[in-house]
Structure 1
Amino acid sequence: MTHVLILGATGNLGTATARALTDHFPDVRLRLASSRPAGVAKLQAAFPAAQAVQADWYDPASLLKAVEGTDKVFIVTPDFVTDELQVTPNIINAIKRAGGTSQVIRFTAIPPGLTAHDLAPEFLATRCGANLHTLAKPLLDASRLPVTYINAACWIMFNLPWFVANDVKTKRQFIMPSVSDAPRLHLSELDIAAVAARIIADPAAEHVGQDYLITGTERLDYRQISALLSEVIGETVTYVDSDSTLREILGDYFEPVMTYYRHEVEAYKDVPVTDTVQQLTGR
């Protein structure tokens, strides 16, 4: 029986993966970690059959305790607040000390071939998106652990409602600054979770050593998304070039995110379309 630890279980992708495993692979035993007591309580309430534990990836002792007794570890780190140069070595050391880990699954969002050496210091300093992951991946590559990467080098769909839903609902306007616009590949967090659950449930040997690039199937810019929304709701949704809503939502994170966008719109434009989601999920 597979026993998996999900680090980052209270985040969007961690929770979605725990739900996909619970619904479709009930034989997988879940250990779900949060750094906060409130997060542990939330996870235990949402997943009563799982074991919710408190583990802080800045605290090696708590990490070791969380890893012990599991044979797979799924890692999802949040933007902005993660120091990958400290967190990733802590996780690697805990896994090595615990022993018995057959597979480490790491979520990334790196355009193929992009490395930290390609990024200007101002972009790395944002601690956002692939900037974090380009620091973590070389450490995992050098660790000699049995790693599988799930690399979603595209926009995850939960970004859209977070940024634009209220304006679409109340004003029928899609409000985002044009400097952040690009023909992007979009992928649902539920599809990412389905891929992660499939990989976790499968025998480790089927996926160890793989770096799976998963993407959406169609490039869409802001005006095309506005047109799709208009078609779906039967009312015109107009794209508005403004940073007002984004500035309000992001607060102190606005400037780092805008700095990140100036890099992201270029780095992601040539990401190839893949059918990896379809291959791994069988649908």
Structure 2
Amino acid sequence: MKVLVTGASGNVGRYVVKELLKMGENVVVAGTDIKKLKTMFGDKVDAVEFDFTNRQTFMEALHEVDRVFLMRPPHLGKPQDLYPFIDIMKSSNIKLVSFLSLMGVEHNTIPPHHKIEKYIENIGIPYAHIRPGFFMQNVSGIHAKEIKEQDKILVPAGKSKASFIDAKDIGLSIAVLLHEPERYKNTAHTITGPQALDYYQVADILSTVLGRKITYDKPGYLKYRQYYINNRGLDKKYVNVTVALYFMTRMGTAKEVTDGFYRLTGRQPRTFKDFAKENKEVFLK
């Protein structure tokens, strides 16, 4: 049987695919851009068209599949957007679904991930939720533009700390869960990096690695929201979700450091400094 990876071209999905292939699994990559998927993974995987909003794509994606990595696309803000596919997984007798959730979401009903977790559990599909801390790739991705062009980190996190984790480490953790479905049936795993950092510390690390002064701008929610919508042209729904997450971060929800990654993989998680060195080119002017 095969493992279906949704969001296979994304920050986490690509590493889930890579690690599953190393483990000898047969992988199906799913997405709306088949050409992109085939370019990324070649003939090592099966590529299928898949869209959470198009039920006609569900059955082909699940053909000969018994395990699924489930990722909520950022543009789908409502938990209900994923329910039809989850229902089909139930009827397809999936052995395990590993849902990419959020750290602390079991105590936080605001993000859509909370309701998605509960829906999977209540419908009776065997699950292994993965609840990572903030992605290091957020810094090298969405926030890299201001670092590169203005030498600033622009996030409304105040003085709060986050236990950043590399998407590579998240991908490995998910692959472990999917590779051993019986062992990890009906479990949840909070995985983090090795330390909690505030954005002043992140700026200091980047300054050292890049050889130029990077500062943390610490904008308020309104300034942040207006900038990313008006200046960056990002979708309002997406920006609003990030505002909510940073609001929760200020309440201390992202600072926990766990040994979850080590317990799953037997390895120590990558540090932010090592990540910055590895991705230095992203921030160069």
Question: TM-score, length-normalised on structure 2?
Answer: 0.81
CA contact (8 A) 2:29 2:46 kept: yes
**Partner residue of 2:17?**
18
**Partner residue of 1:28?**
25
Structure 1 position 257, deviation (Å): 4.5
Structure 1 position 40, deviation (Å): 1.2
**Partner residue of 2:71?**
76
**C-alpha distance 251-44 of structure 1, shift in aligned 2 (>3 A):** closer
Matches within 5 A, 1:1-283: 2-22=1-21, 24-25=22-23, 27-34=24-31, 36=32, 39-47=33-41, 48-88=43-83, 90-99=84-93, 101-111=94-104, 113-116=106-109, 119=110, 131-152=111-132, 154-171=133-150, 173-178=151-156, 181-202=159-180, 204-242=181-219, 243=224, 246-247=228-229, 248-249=231-232, 251-253=234-236, 256-257=240-241, 259-261=243-245, 263-269=247-253, 272-283=256-267
CA contact (8 A) 1:214 1:275 kept: yes
Q: Distance in 2 between matches of 1:148 and 1:224?
A: 33
**C-alpha distance 71-251 of structure 1, shift in aligned 2 (>3 A):** closer
Gaps of 5+ in 2: 268-285
Q: Distance in 2 between matches of 1:58 and 1:136?
A: 16
Q: Please, what is the CA RMSD of the aligned residues?
A: 2.4
Question: Secondary structure in 2 aligned to 1:187?
Answer: coil
Deviates more, 1:104-113 or 1:176-185: 176-185
Q: Distance in 1 between matches of 2:245 and 2:91?
A: 39
Residue by residue over 1:193-252, the C-alpha shift from the partner in whole angstroms, topping out at 9 and shown as x without a partner, is 0111122223x1111111011112211111111111122233332333444864533534
Question: Secondary structure in 1 aligned to 2:8?
Answer: coil
Structure 1 position 80, deviation (Å): 3.5
Question: Secondary structure in 2 aligned to 1:71?
Answer: strand
Paired AA for residue 185 in structure 1: S
Structure 1 position 74, deviation (Å): 0.9
CA contact (8 A) 1:111 1:267 kept: no
Paired AA for residue 18 in structure 2: R
Question: Secondary structure in 2 aligned to 1:31?
Answer: strand
Q: Distance in 2 between matches of 1:180 and 1:257?
A: 17
CA contact (8 A) 1:182 1:269 kept: no
Question: Secondary structure in 1 aligned to 2:112?
Answer: helix
Structure 1 position 268, deviation (Å): 4.3
Paired AA for residue 234 in structure 2: G
**C-alpha distance 150-262 of structure 1, shift in aligned 2 (>3 A):** closer
Structure 1 position 133, deviation (Å): 0.3
Identical-residue share of aligned pairs (%): 22
Structure 1 position 178, deviation (Å): 4.5
CA contact (8 A) 1:148 1:208 kept: yes
**Partner residue of 1:123?**
none
Question: Secondary structure in 1 aligned to 2:47?
Answer: strand
Q: Distance in 2 between matches of 1:140 and 1:97?
A: 13
Q: Distance in 1 between matches of 2:61 and 2:106?
A: 33
**C-alpha distance 233-146 of structure 1, shift in aligned 2 (>3 A):** same
Question: Secondary structure in 2 aligned to 1:216?
Answer: coil
**C-alpha distance 151-250 of structure 1, shift in aligned 2 (>3 A):** farther
Paired AA for residue 56 in structure 1: D
Gaps of 5+ in 1: 120-130
How many residues are aligned here?
259
Deviates more, 1:209-218 or 1:260-269: 260-269
